[in-house]
Structures are given as C-alpha cells and as structure tokens.
Amino acid sequence: MSRPNRIIFLRHGQSQGNVDRSIYAERPDYALELSEQGKEEAVAAGKNLIEIVKNEKVMFYLSPHWRTRMTCEGVVKSFSKDQYKIREEPRIREQEWGHLRTVDRNKILDQERDAFGTFYYRIADGESCADVYDRVSSFFDTLFRDFEKKDFPTNVIIVTHGMTIRVFLMRWFHWTVEEFERVANPRNCEFFVMEKQNDEKYKLITELRYHAPTHSYQYGAGIK
C-alpha cells in the first residue's frame, strides 16, 4: 500500500447558517448554501491549496451537504480538470442536529451540550459526536482500501465540517475524549495538513487551537 503524501482536511466556507441561525427553522441543515463571503473563502482556499500540492494529483472526498459541495466547486477553480477526482462520501457529513428548529431551540441545544459534554451529548432525533466517531471509523476502511489502488493520487483533500474534522483527527491520532474536547473548532475554510514521514506515518503540521471545555465533568477530578 502506497499512502498519499498528504491528507488535508478543509472545513466548508461561511454558510447561511453561520450568518443567520434562524434559517434552520426554514431549511434543512444539508441544504444550507454558502454565503457570498463563503464563496470567496472557498476560492481563496483553493489558491492556498494549489500552492501546497502544486501539479500533483488529488482525490477529493466530499460531504454531500450543499455547503461542502459549493466549497469544493470554489476550490477546484484553482486546479486543472485532469488533476483531480471527486467522490461524495455521506459518512463524513455534519453531525445530525435533528429536524427543523428555531433559534431558541438552537440556544437550548448549545447550552445542554456544553453542560453535558460535547462528545457524549446526543441531540434528540440527531447524533452525538460519539456517533460521528463510529461512522468516520467506518470510512477509514474505505480510505485504506482506496490507498491500495493502482495510481491512487498523491494527495487527499477531505472537504467536510468542523466537528467532523476534529473527530477524524481524534480517530487518527488516538486522542482521548478530553483531548478532543479541548481542540477548538476550525474556522470557515481553515484547513489542516497531515504529511507522510519517512516511516510512512503522518504528522499533523498545522497548529491546533485550543479552548477550555465548559462542562465540569473532567476525569480525575475528585477521583482517588
């Protein structure tokens, strides 16, 4: 198996939901589009990514949500058409946040999740981060099988969502739950680069940002 030289994770650009959370009461999460700023961010990300991969081949794995698809469309404007392939992969979609919901309900969900713990809190009619971890783990099987294919591209770019990126890194680098919860969510169109080393293992060369979890349930506190 010849692994690609790089695996890059890209969060989608600014979406309608990032601008106005009231839209969640009118439109399902998967159908949210990029804002005008988000479209510009996607094009800018493409220019930055082509500086990294140069003229090397790229396989894009893409969450099927509209904002990630639109982000990919902006990114590939910087690539030649014979340089890349694109595959939609539903297992790397956003965490399911349930059905249509109001701004007030969004606030309640945020407060409940922060108080309970972001990894374990399961949204009604939706998912927990732990659920996303399971389907991302399943995607690993597909990813490694693809690596074994003849002439597989030397770069992988995964266009997905902020929390999904954090879960993917957690799974890859065997972070604990506490380590996962301390890593801050990526910004819109922020990307993380893993580079293959001489021992065939990957090193995350992008610096992570951290924040303090808001819940008080930290393992070791008060345990003797």
Catalytic residue flag (residue 88):
no
Kind and range of the H or E run holding 51:
helix 36-53
CA angle 21, 23, 29 (to 5 degrees): 90
pLDDT in tens, 176-196: 999 999 999 999 999 999 999
* Phi-psi label, residue 181: left if phi above 0, alpha if psi -120 to 50, beta otherwise: alpha
For the chain, which domains are there?
Answer: 6-204 (3.40.50.1240)
pLDDT value at residue 221? 58
pTM for this entry: 0.94
The one catalytic residue among 41, 89, 94, 127 = 94
The one catalytic residue among 12, 65, 127, 181 = 12
Q: Helices then strands (H, E): number in the chain?
A: 7, 6
State how far the Cα of 42 lies from the Cα of 68, in Å rounded to an integer. Answer: 10
> Contact, 68 vs 33, CB < 8 A?
no
> Contact, 186 vs 180, CB < 8 A?
no
pLDDT in tens, 51-65: 999 999 999 999 999
Tokens in use for 38?
């988000």
Catalytic residue flag (residue 195):
no
